[in-house]
Structure 1
Amino acid sequence: MKLFLLLILLSLLNYSNAGEDFDVRKHLSTVTRYSAVKDIADSNFVPSDIPQGCVPIHLNLVARHGTRSPTKKRIRELDNLTVRLEVLLKDAEKQNLPLERVPSWLRGWQSPWKGRLKGGELISRGEDELYDLGIRIRERFPNLFSEEYHPDIYTIKATQVPRASASAVAFGMGLFSGNGSLGPGHHRAFAVTSESRASDILLRFYDCCENYKDFRQRQEPAVDKLKEPIFDEITFTLVKRYGLNFTRQDISSLWFLCKQEASLLDITNQACSLFSPSEVSLLEWTDDLEVFILKGYGKSLNYRMGVPLLEDVVQSMERAIEAKEGRAPGIFEKARLRFAHAETVVPFSCLLGLFLEGNEFQQIQKEQPLQLPPKPPQKRKWRGSIVAPFAGNNMLVLYSCPTQAKSTSKYFVQVLHNEHPIPMPGCDGSVFCPFEVFKAKIVAPHQKHDYDTVCNPKPDKMEQKPVSSKLLLMYQWLFSSGKAMATYFFLAE
């Protein structure tokens, strides 16, 4: 008996020690807040210095809103979780199960958002994220932001969703702080413009794309089915670990609670403590799969519908070049700043070819399907926490450079993801790409797909295969022991 208790004690110690250096706040997929991951960069990549004499003349920013509260639907889910946990504890008591294994916080737990009728708004931490980002960008590019504010010099756009427009305001307050006459902070007024949700094909293209909405509605159940084995495995483990009769839905809700507590409240010793680091990694991966399939490289429709935004970025650069060359009279726009959502930032990152492995960029150019991100413990580039955390962003900086003997190019593009230079596969892995090469290799291949053609409903010419047969290959892949070699046919073109 003593030996048995000793073994249990040792296993608990090992379980605890396994997570000593594991910060769950960095593993929350797209619910990760910016401060937890903004300093993470690819250690295997060392960006080259900006060539001497090159100066930035224009900046494009595509940013996600900052950290927000849970939505109304999710608040109701947490209210239901409160009731469900009470039922589980009462059932355990009736069955005389060993309640000493049950974490004390579960007894009497109430949702921090109990009674809230509205949700999804930008919280104070989210305001800070964008305000600080605005200050850092101004400090990084002082020449770009030295002009007196004018709405045609610094264009600021946001979607009509309040958390996006609030993020734009917080960013602008940081960007222009000290340059006005309003209040003790010497703030100044600035304009934020929005398009109607019904017609915003630049920042909410996914809302205006009928083919995408149909695709997502059809595929969401299949994606949930794909995630089920992981949730079933973790449900089985947690039932044994804590003695409570958890269901798959309970685990899903507890994982969501973990993400909200850790990201919004810095609480990591409650819901998140139910899961081991390896379980968190698997749950994070299921979230990343969903982002990949429904918003990212899982289907080319996901990012092709974002081509109007990419074209808007290129057009703004071309106008900046014309102004620099003296070919365009009037005010010279220095920055075009946009604030939207993960559904905007993720497809835009895909249009640029970011976070691809090996020869995947060539596959994308040929419109071939990609494999799913590899299952932990295998490493992967595609992580929601990096691709699109709260306040995640892509900056495209246009530089004017003196003509070199080795190059006839005078203008170059640098892409910064979450403020870090990132290699562009379409430019041979360089972070400093000649503008004409950027247009020819990265932008032009997408432009053969017109937005209306991509998004207008088309009659199905082929009968859809049953979901079960489509998923068969994925189940085989999901639980394969080695590196996944199966081609991703689940959402093939």
Structure 2
Amino acid sequence: MERAMVVGLVIVLSVLVHSDAAGEECFDVRQHISTVTRYGVVKDVADNSFVASEIPNGCTPIHLNLVSRHGTRSPTKKRIRELDNLAAHLELLLKDAEEQKLSLQKIPTWLRNWKSPWKGKVKGGELISKGEDELYDLGTRIREKFSDLFNDEYHPDVYTMKATQVPRASASAVAFGMGLFSGRGSLGPGHHRAFAVSTESRASDIFLRFHDCCENYKDFRKRQEPFVHKLKEPFFDEITSALVRRYELNFTRQDTSSLWFLCKQEASLLDITDQACGLFSPSEVALLEWTDDLEVFILKGYGKSLNYRMGVPLLEDVVQSMEQAIQAKEENHPPGSYEKARLRFAHAETVVPFSCLLGLFLEKSEFQQIQREQPLQLPPKPPQKRKWRGSTVAPFAGNNMLVLYSCPSNANTSSNYFVQVLHNEHPIPMPGCDGSDFCPFEDFKERIVAPHLKHDYDTVCNANVETEVQMPATSKLSLLFRWLLSIFSPGKDDKRSQKDEL
């Protein structure tokens, strides 16, 4: 009997060890780098439990709205300097280890004499070739999927293209347009055609760069960023200690932060996953990813209603374009005389708030909470599951499409017009529309749009509202302590208290 129990225990342990090893083998770090994730790596990572709506027979798309982030880009000048500083500090750490005659056997070979791949670059932040491909291919797929919408002769008023006045966004619009209109012109061997991309001044673009124009938001972010970094510090310290033990180098918290940034750049831009990313275990990567997602949630997402309410002009613009399309349909305007698509190219700071305005990535109860102006809990810490992941909410080239359908009259519904929402080209449930991705247009306006329209942009952004009381340092430390307790020993009261003050 005892022998049987021992044999059984050995079998169970071997299965567990094998499953853990298999889990690590299939772990793709490129899917776990938050908003630095490349589009092709995650665009087909969807919620398998959601069953998309069947588009009823006779329903045809009559208008399409696209809000897209720019494609994969190079590091900014500030980040290039950070990587140069990392290289210099790593050199000092290795020299110090040699002087102390410490063993260097545990140090990965690549780390010795490492130099940043971007060393010597004086400019950064530009769209790279992978980013061009992402948008070009997206344009090609959209034309194929909605061929009836894009069969008209090109005119800038029929296919409106807008981008922010930032080169990587306007370059993304151009790459997309080349895919969308390829073969439709007479330019060069690819038979390309010229098309227009309009931009607004950065200082006044309240549709696509509202975060740059909203004074209350800029003030909120300036005051909140140090606090968010403080929330992340214990987790970086934990991982830093693990790195020091593992490699016997005196890494600092800043080294860990820079190495994590290097991991994301190598994985996303260069498809290198066995250098900087290889320094971290899968569980450490998951924790680092979560800290990034936490920051996006608090500073750009559902962490504060101001984050997305400042995007109301964009939401109004989307609805207005659909109403104009419905009017053109009702009045039988001839093809080529009205707009069929409004295509926008911007940033994560645009796509994330817009997703929040639509109520995406929420349970129905959470959607009701934000409608009642109640705060949400923070995304749960790994290994708990969460819907809010930067890699799917706003990867490079991440996008939301709202497709307006005209449907034949049906005794079962009073609406002839429906809105389908696609996130990264896949139907996604809208909690405000009973969890469906296909919503009667009037219900979409009443349940999802109307509550936001109570908040005027000028009032939200420029009046003395939605500002937070500056907490003294002792209060913030107390809050941080309670939050950490709630992470490791979660209790409803702790979480509610923490979010009410955030």
1:202-237 Cα shifts (integer Å, max 9, x gaps) = 000000000000000000000000000110100011
Query: What is the 5 A alignment of 1:350-389?
Result: 350-389=356-395
Query: Are 2:431 and 1:425 aligned?
Result: yes
> Is the CA contact 1:369–1:489 (under 8 Å) kept in the aligned structure 2?
no
Deviation at 1:469, TM superposition (A): 3.3
Secondary structure of 2:198's partner?
coil
What amino acid maps onto 1:471 in structure 2? L
For residue 470 of structure 1, the aligned residue among 461, 476, 479 is 479
> Is the CA contact 1:361–1:425 (under 8 Å) kept in the aligned structure 2?
yes
Supply the distance in 1 between the matched residues of 2:22 and 2:394 (Cα, whole angstroms).
30
> Is the CA contact 2:260–2:276 (under 8 Å) kept in the aligned structure 1?
yes
For residue 260 of structure 1, the aligned residue among 262, 265, 277 is 265
Deviation at 1:491, TM superposition (A): 6.2
Q: TM-score, normalised by structure 2?
A: 0.93
1:444-490 Cα shifts (integer Å, max 9, x gaps) = 00000000000014189985322223333322223226899712644
Note the residue ranges of structure 2 that are not aligned, 5 or more in a row: 1-16
Alignment root-mean-square deviation, CA: 2.0
Deviation at 1:392, TM superposition (A): 0.1
Other-structure match for 1:3: none
Q: Which moved more, 1:279-288 or 1:318-327?
A: 318-327
Deviation at 1:92, TM superposition (A): 1.1
Name the CA shift for 1:491/1:290 in 2 (closer, same or farther; >3 Å).
Answer: farther
Supply the distance in 2 between the matched residues of 1:285 and 1:383 (Cα, whole angstroms).
8
For residue 443 of structure 2, the aligned residue among 422, 437, 441 is 437
Supply the distance in 2 between the matched residues of 1:472 and 1:223 (Cα, whole angstroms).
13
Query: Are 2:279 and 1:248 aligned?
Result: no
> Is the CA contact 1:319–1:328 (under 8 Å) kept in the aligned structure 2?
no
Runs of 4+ in 1 over 4 A off after TM superposition: 12-18, 327-330, 459-463, 481-485, 490-493
Other-structure match for 2:220: 215
Secondary structure of 1:99's partner?
coil
Supply the distance in 2 between the matched residues of 1:45 and 1:328 (Cα, whole angstroms).
37
> Is the CA contact 2:298–2:304 (under 8 Å) kept in the aligned structure 1?
yes
Secondary structure of 1:144's partner?
coil
> Is the CA contact 1:369–1:488 (under 8 Å) kept in the aligned structure 2?
no
Query: Are 2:50 and 1:45 aligned?
Result: yes
> Is the CA contact 1:369–1:492 (under 8 Å) kept in the aligned structure 2?
no
What amino acid maps onto 1:355 in structure 2? F
Other-structure match for 2:134: 129
What amino acid maps onto 1:486 in structure 2? K
Other-structure match for 1:486: 495
Deviation at 1:15, TM superposition (A): 9.2
Secondary structure of 1:412's partner?
strand
Question: How many residues matched?
Answer: 482
Secondary structure of 2:105's partner?
helix
> Is the CA contact 2:220–2:467 (under 8 Å) kept in the aligned structure 1?
no
Query: Are 2:75 and 1:70 aligned?
Result: yes
Other-structure match for 2:5: none
1:263-297 Cα shifts (integer Å, max 9, x gaps) = 00000110000000000000000000000000000
Note the residue ranges of structure 1 that are not aligned, 5 or more in a row: 1-11
Name the CA shift for 1:492/1:394 in 2 (closer, same or farther; >3 Å).
Answer: farther
Supply the distance in 2 between the matched residues of 1:289 and 1:319 (Cα, whole angstroms).
38
Q: Which moved more, 1:107-116 or 1:355-364?
A: 355-364
> Is the CA contact 1:372–1:488 (under 8 Å) kept in the aligned structure 2?
no
1:156-176 Cα shifts (integer Å, max 9, x gaps) = 000000000000000000000
Q: Which moved more, 1:123-132 or 1:460-469?
A: 460-469
Secondary structure of 1:316's partner?
helix
> Is the CA contact 1:31–1:260 (under 8 Å) kept in the aligned structure 2?
yes
Identity %: 77
Name the CA shift for 1:488/1:192 in 2 (closer, same or farther; >3 Å).
Answer: farther
Secondary structure of 2:380's partner?
coil
1:344-377 Cα shifts (integer Å, max 9, x gaps) = 0000000000001351000010011000000000
Supply the distance in 2 between the matched residues of 1:145 and 1:171 (Cα, whole angstroms).
14
Query: Are 2:489 and 1:450 aligned?
Result: no
Q: Which moved more, 1:221-230 or 1:93-102?
A: 93-102
Secondary structure of 1:19's partner?
helix
Secondary structure of 2:150's partner?
coil
Query: What is the 5 A alignment of 1:129-168?
Result: 129-168=134-173
1:107-134 Cα shifts (integer Å, max 9, x gaps) = 0000000011100000000000000000
Other-structure match for 2:282: 277
For residue 336 of structure 1, the aligned residue among 320, 323, 342 is 342
Name the CA shift for 1:164/1:251 in 2 (closer, same or farther; >3 Å).
Answer: same
Supply the distance in 2 between the matched residues of 1:184 and 1:41 (Cα, whole angstroms).
37
Supply the distance in 1 between the matched residues of 2:469 and 2:232 (Cα, whole angstroms).
25
For residue 35 of structure 2, the aligned residue among 25, 30, 37 is 30
Supply the distance in 2 between the matched residues of 1:377 and 1:193 (Cα, whole angstroms).
44
Other-structure match for 2:294: 289
Secondary structure of 2:470's partner?
coil
Secondary structure of 1:101's partner?
coil
Other-structure match for 1:6: none
1:60-114 Cα shifts (integer Å, max 9, x gaps) = 0000000000000000000000101001111111222221000000000000000
Supply the distance in 2 between the matched residues of 1:21 and 1:460 (Cα, whole angstroms).
45
